[in-house]
Amino acid sequence: MTDLTGKTALVTGASRGIGRSIAERLAADGALVAVHYGTNEAAANDTVATIQKSGGNAFAVRAELGVDDDVDTLFAGLEEGLDGRPLDILVNNAAIIDYDGTIDKITRAAYDRQFAINVRAPLFITQRALPLMRDGGRIINVSSGVTWFATPEIAYGMTKGALNVFSRSLAQSLGARGITVNTVSPGITETDMNGWLNDPQAAQHVAGMIALGRHGQPADVGDAVAFFASEDARWITGQTLEVNGGLLLGPPTGYAG
């Protein structure tokens, strides 16, 4: 457990899944956490209530990303909740996957929507956050292993590739302020995004590709994000950490079959 007492954090997409786990962990470490969400108010309120029940501090902020004025809406709620305090930690986590976004079916509208939510929003959220951030702050972007293994959902993979480039470039630009920028790249993790994992056969198939023999839980990723948010990670920037249990390391029985 690291000590984030006195720090503040914004976690986008924190109502469910990995973002919720990140928000819970940062709050458990002592940060005041802004739990951002798009539409699922009940889930966001539940995240905030769970944090508060454990003695942590959090507030919910609603803003649909990928639409006009998304950043203005987000920062109106964020600044109200921060009430004059600066921001220390920004986690760009919210994203969507379009399972129809394959090369034969992808449409311009679906492509634009994924890039607007997964790439444009993190860039302009970060731009808007920087004047609020203290020097020595932390930015963590949540990408995906699909940047190095191929999947049919081509546009989603492209958005995450763009996010990786964004992270490295930003790390270079913000070094002078002592702000670190790192990427956490989850493997196959049990969230609403991966409803297909509820099929035991699919889960077993996935486990066979992972050295540690199981798919991920949101907390497996949240704990890694908390490391980058901590003082322990003070001299790490521009890096990507694959948090995936050893996904696709090679054939489990060797190459000879």
Ligand X SMILES: NC(=O)c1ccc[n+]([C@@H]2O[C@H](COP(=O)([O-])OP(=O)(O)OC[C@H]3O[C@@H](n4cnc5c(N)ncnc54)[C@H](OP(=O)(O)O)[C@@H]3O)[C@@H](O)[C@H]2O)c1
The correct pick among 10, 13, 125, 126 for binding ligand X (CB under 6 A) is: 13
What is the gyration radius of the CA atoms in the chain, in angstroms? 18
The correct pick among 4, 31, 58, 96 for binding ligand X (CB under 6 A) is: 96
Q: What is the layout of strands, in order, in the sheet containing 32-37?
A: 57-62, 32-37, 8-11, 87-92, 133-142, 180-186, 240-243
Contact set for ligand X, span 44-73 (CB under 6 A): 64-66
Q: Which is nearer to ligand X, 40 or 102 (CB)?
A: 40
Q: What are the φ/ψ torsions at residue 23 (nearest 5 degrees)?
A: -60, -45
Q: Which of 103, 94, 89 is nearest to 63 (CA)?
A: 94
E strand or H helix at 155, and its extent? helix 154-174
Q: How far is the CB of 178 from ligand X (least distance, A)?
A: 26
**Does the protein bind ligand X through residue 122 (CB under 6 A)?**
no
**The pair of three-digit structure tokens given for residue 105, joined into one six-digit string:** 């079916």
Q: Which of 111, 75, 77 is nearest to 96 (CA)?
A: 111
The correct pick among 95, 129, 174, 210 for binding ligand X (CB under 6 A) is: 95
Residue, CB closest to ligand X: 17
- Tell me what percent of the chain is helix, strand and coil, each rounded to the nearest 5: 45, 20, 35
Alpha-carbon distance of 166 to 83, in angstroms, equals 29
Alpha-carbon distance of 172 to 25, in angstroms, equals 27
The correct pick among 4, 9, 11, 15 for binding ligand X (CB under 6 A) is: 15
Known active-site residue 156? yes
Q: Which stretch binds ligand X (CB under 6 A): 132-140, 169-177, 186-194, 245-253?
A: 186-194
Q: Which is nearer to ligand X, 118 or 235 (CB)?
A: 118
Q: How far is the CB of 131 from ligand X (least distance, A)?
A: 22
**Does the protein bind ligand X through residue 193 (CB under 6 A)?**
yes
Q: Which stretch binds ligand X (CB under 6 A): 8-16, 98-106, 147-155, 226-234?
A: 8-16
Paired residues of 185 in beta bridges: 242
* 32-37/57-62 β-pairing: parallel
**Does the protein bind ligand X through residue 25 (CB under 6 A)?**
no
Catalytic residue among 37, 111, 156, 255: 156
Paired residues of 217 in beta bridges: none
The correct pick among 147, 191, 230, 237 for binding ligand X (CB under 6 A) is: 191
**Does the protein bind ligand X through residue 142 (CB under 6 A)?**
yes
Number of residues that bind ligand X (CB under 6 A): 29
The correct pick among 31, 162, 188, 225 for binding ligand X (CB under 6 A) is: 188
Which residue ranges make up the site for ligand X (CB under 6 A)? 13-19, 37-40, 43, 64-66, 93-96, 117, 142, 144, 186, 188-189, 191-194
